[in-house]
Amino acid sequence: MQRRRSLPLTRYRVCFLALACMRAMPSVAQGALTTPSIMAPASTPAHEIYALSQFVLAITGAIFVVVGGLLAFIIVRFRERRTDAEHEPAQIYGSTQVELAWTVIPVLIVVVLFLTTARIIFAIQDAPEPKTALDVTVVGHQFWWEFRYPKLGIVTANELHVPVSTPSAPEPTYMQLLSADVDHSFWVPQLGGKTDLIPNHPNQMWMDPEKAGLYLGQCAQFCGVEHAKMLIRVYVDTPDQFAAWVKAQQQPGAQDAATAAGRHVFETEACANCHTISGTGAKGTFGPDLTHLMSRATIAAGAADNTPDNLRSWIHDPNTLKPGALMPAMQLSDKETDEVVAYLTTLH
């Protein structure tokens, strides 16, 4: 009897706890500004998924409360007590009506969930590409991203620049997803779901970011040793910023007589086999295009900040920053390394 009386109290406590958790959830889910939370959407596909997820959460949450509550009630109400009679409880073998009821109700729930789901699948996946859309080709590499803008003649890496898209001036970004080697997956949670990059299997996805800013993501399909350091930065620019960025990127690589020695090393050593710097003899395509290296905030697909010190240790031995990266240690002398770094830091 003692236990019974404390039951309402326990119930209040549980309710209170649940309420507190639900209150705390949005703030936890938003996280820090650099947290790529799916609960902080900033693009139409992400918004549609978010709204759908709230609906599904409400239905599943209700099921959880009803069935979980029932189970909790049974655990308290029907547990064995000292005062219980010795004989076995009444044996009940089943009931067709009851079975029918708890078959039909889930069927109805599934119908509702499916119709809602199907609507959003078609809305996102089969959205026609508007004429104003920006085309980007994304190529996944072990372990970095290549971004090509075929209509603009731009090639860059790891940091994607796209324009903000407003209802009055819609300019969504449509991405063609390819892979140069193994499977990868493009995922920037605030801008939309993920889509895989699969060799011999081109995929498409789109986004229309509504607010300028930096959005973070990373590869979401295991692709080898450095899968963890294949990060994505998406810069959503205002129209002016974007136009300026496009203009800068369309220029050939900077020519500075002061760093001609570094350029010479770059062009004559193995660097040129894998990297392109437009306007020079370096035309390799195995590694990232370095024409505007200094316009990027990070190197090695986000593994390190883009500073002269990090560039130096990266050229000396990529394994120090990203063990398993496919770029070899360049075996340059200290002088040559300094010259190359000096040259690279002019590539704005």
Site for another protein in 164-203 (CB under 8 A): 177, 181-183, 185, 187, 189, 192-196, 198-201, 203
Angstrom distances, CA of residue 313 to CA of 54, 72, 288, 341, 347: 47, 59, 17, 10, 18
Pattern of binders to another protein over 99-138, x per CB under 8 A? Answer: x--xx--xx--x--xx-xxx-xxx-xxx------------
Choose which of 231, 232, 311, 347 interacts with another protein (CB under 8 A): 231
Q: Is 218 in the site for another protein (CB under 8 A)?
A: yes
Helix (H, G, I), strand (E, B) or coil at 37: coil
CA nearest to 341, candidates 271, 247, 246? 271
What are residue 149's DSSP bridge partners?
154
Q: How far apart are CA 19 and CA 127, in angstroms?
A: 38
In the range 13-42, which residues lie near another protein by CB under 8 A?
28-29, 31-32, 34-39
# of chain residues touching another protein (CB under 8 A): 94
Q: How far apart are CA 78 and CA 120, in angstroms?
A: 44
Q: How far is CA 172 from the centre of its chain?
A: 18
Q: Is 286 in the site for another protein (CB under 8 A)?
A: no
Q: Is 140 in the site for another protein (CB under 8 A)?
A: no
Q: Segment near another protein (CB under 8 A), from 68-76, 239-247, 272-280, 282-290?
A: 68-76
In the range 82-101, which residues lie near another protein by CB under 8 A?
84, 88-95, 98-99
Dihedrals phi, psi of 178, to nearest 5 degrees? -130, 165
Choose which of 7, 17, 20, 78 interacts with another protein (CB under 8 A): 78
Dihedrals phi, psi of 177, to nearest 5 degrees? -110, 120
Pattern of binders to another protein over 313-332, x per CB under 8 A? Answer: ----------xx--------
